[in-house]
Structure 1
């Protein structure tokens, strides 16, 4: 599959989402590059000459480049769509940094919570070039599964997916670049809104952790309809209330989980338990086979940990989230706070609510009067080089 000068998209990750997204774009007539770190899926797709899509979208998609070489996959593309798990974002940003080029747009699909902030921070630390834009979606655009390398099934294409760039005033520019192919992408206020609209933080960790005994007994069950009992659902409602309170502190829109189910699946009920039981799309979806699953290994460190840290920065308590994090650490023997996204680890340590809001909106970070500012250039802008200084421009 030879490189074409017209390649405009790179999809990073050939898993459930990435393989489907690369094929979908190619079937829309776009020139697409697909990267996967391990060579197995790459070789399978190369052997058959592309990816076959089944389900809601059908066809055989031929890609311009399929490679496990990052430099080859990123060369000359305009938009880079990251589809790897959020727990891999840090390492991926390090791997991508040497091969990025000015003007490229990187979209995390999705970012989970503080994903774009972390990705941009790691790019800075690893010498990425100026003129890059990092953005994120609140959720993945499809409900899809990789049947095997080279074959994917798209069960549903979502009608609307919110997207925000960092800083927020760049969102409109990103949407102009992608909407001709992905009209489902619509503007969110900022990356706090996309991160606080992370419904996976509600529906993934708590039911898994609260059903740990059942999961570890090697007996799979219906994850939603059996695993989310009335008691578990009450715990989910508490987590959701904490998420909504955090969103209120940062002045962003967040939809309650019950309303989200109504909007996405058309299920309506007076309580979350009944709404989940009435959601037909959840029927038959099996529980994780073990606790070593992304519902814990991704959603705890990349969703619950940053949400709880945002709550602390706002002076709010999030006792149920904190308890779930503690339980996850105890059950797995892993310090998920240390491994997770915190405000300090993504470069926002010591900032208050207003400073965080300013940062995601216009890229500003205040400098204490006692510090001396020195400047350098990143992202095509003059920025201060110390950790507490301005990290971006005023909004135009």
Structure 2
């Protein structure tokens, strides 16, 4: 695919507004879609978003060419569709976009969490999409950002290197080339199994929230999420979850980074164990905990990040008792069944696949048995 010039951003939260404004300031033709029009009415009235950045980063008024709550209009605009919504919304977005997707379009999930691209591709097919669309996922969200108002966004940091993989991975280079003029930060993520199994949010977010549930409810999040919340005992639980994740990855042929390796790669932080490494990371100081247990660290990261890893483990014979315990606690606290709601191998149509079939699918796109 040639260099993309027309982008549609689906989702007008802090991340979506930051991405739309950033793309516009880089010279792209940008559409912004949100299901609830009231949330984007000010952007439409002002015809853009005011973007601020720290330390001399990109800033200014990003003119948005199309602001709409009409999904067909938004999809028709785009060469590349950027999905910047909670992963719990991915399946629904796939359903409503399926009738409107066109040959040659690229859909990128920011991020996919675990097996997001697999879910999205399955849902659009199940809903009648037969066009040649490439679905890709980023390993993590490229920005640290927030919304300063209905038509304002602020970028605190842009990550220097973010792995991205297409489904199938034979299209990685095509996707990266399409967006490299605006996003040179994206690098080849090998395949969507690699981007999925290196999802560190699955390890840190649910356990840290649930194991500190009493503190969150008592203080309404008025403590340091990582520094105060990661005690030696909590860190031991994180290490168990991390070992399970790495073992599940190994069972499907993936050499996943350990949490310690990731901390060193992302932040140049080291330690003898997770407790020491987390407390050696200056960036974690001052980050407050969620104010409530009704938070995406549970309702998004449990079913969309942790459940699929655990489900893969159970399918391929790996003990995931630590993950199962966190999933169960989250389900009890939220009075729901996150196993039933989550991205299980059964829901994704992968429950009868061998490792070689799964690997061939993510690398070559073979889908006959799905």
Global fold match (TM > 0.5): yes
Deviation track 1:143-168 (CA, whole Å, cap 9, x = no partner) reads: 11112221111111111011111111
Contact 2:220 2:290 in 1 (8 A): no
Paired position in structure 2 for 1:243: 245
Contact 2:169 2:364 in 1 (8 A): yes
Q: How does 1:102-251 map to 2 (within 5 A)?
A: 102-220=103-221, 221-251=223-253
Contact 2:9 2:16 in 1 (8 A): yes
Out of 49, 52, 56, which is 2:47 matched to? 49
Q: Structure 1 residues 162, 7: CA separation in 2 closer, same or farther (over 3 Å shift)?
A: closer
Secondary structure of 2:40's aligned partner:
helix
Paired position in structure 1 for 2:17: 19
Secondary structure of 1:217's aligned partner:
helix
- What is the rounded CA distance, in whole Å, between the counterparts of 2:95 and 2:220 in structure 1? 39
Runs of 4+ more than 6 Å apart: none
Contact 1:166 1:361 in 2 (8 A): yes
- What is the rounded CA distance, in whole Å, between the counterparts of 2:125 and 2:187 in structure 1? 27
Secondary structure of 1:204's aligned partner:
helix
Secondary structure of 1:139's aligned partner:
coil
- What is the rounded CA distance, in whole Å, between the counterparts of 2:237 and 2:178 in structure 1? 41
Contact 1:7 1:33 in 2 (8 A): no
Shift of 1:344: 1.3
Gaps of 5+ in 1: 1-5, 366-383, 392-396
- What is the rounded CA distance, in whole Å, between the counterparts of 1:196 and 1:362 in structure 2? 19
Secondary structure of 2:154's aligned partner:
strand
The answer to whether the aligner puts 1:32 opposite 2:30 as a matched pair is yes
Shift of 1:7: 5.9
Q: How does 1:298-377 map to 2 (within 5 A)?
A: 298-365=300-367
Secondary structure of 1:189's aligned partner:
coil
Aligned length: 363
Contact 2:98 2:127 in 1 (8 A): yes
Shift of 1:252: 2.0
Contact 2:31 2:77 in 1 (8 A): no
Secondary structure of 1:75's aligned partner:
helix
Deviation track 1:182-231 (CA, whole Å, cap 9, x = no partner) reads: 11111112100000010100110001010111122243221111111111
- What is the rounded CA distance, in whole Å, between the counterparts of 1:71 and 1:139 in structure 2? 27
Shift of 1:142: 0.9
Shift of 1:270: 1.7
Contact 2:118 2:348 in 1 (8 A): yes
Contact 1:201 1:304 in 2 (8 A): yes
Deviation track 1:267-310 (CA, whole Å, cap 9, x = no partner) reads: 22221112211222222221112211100000000011000011
The answer to whether the aligner puts 1:62 opposite 2:60 as a matched pair is no
Deviation track 1:306-360 (CA, whole Å, cap 9, x = no partner) reads: 0001111221111111111111111111100110001111121211222211111
- What is the rounded CA distance, in whole Å, between the counterparts of 2:354 and 2:328 in structure 1? 25
Contact 1:7 1:76 in 2 (8 A): no
- What is the rounded CA distance, in whole Å, between the counterparts of 1:111 and 1:233 in structure 2? 26
Paired position in structure 1 for 2:280: 278
CA RMSD of aligned residues (A): 1.4
Contact 1:164 1:191 in 2 (8 A): yes
Contact 1:111 1:138 in 2 (8 A): yes
Shift of 1:66: 1.0
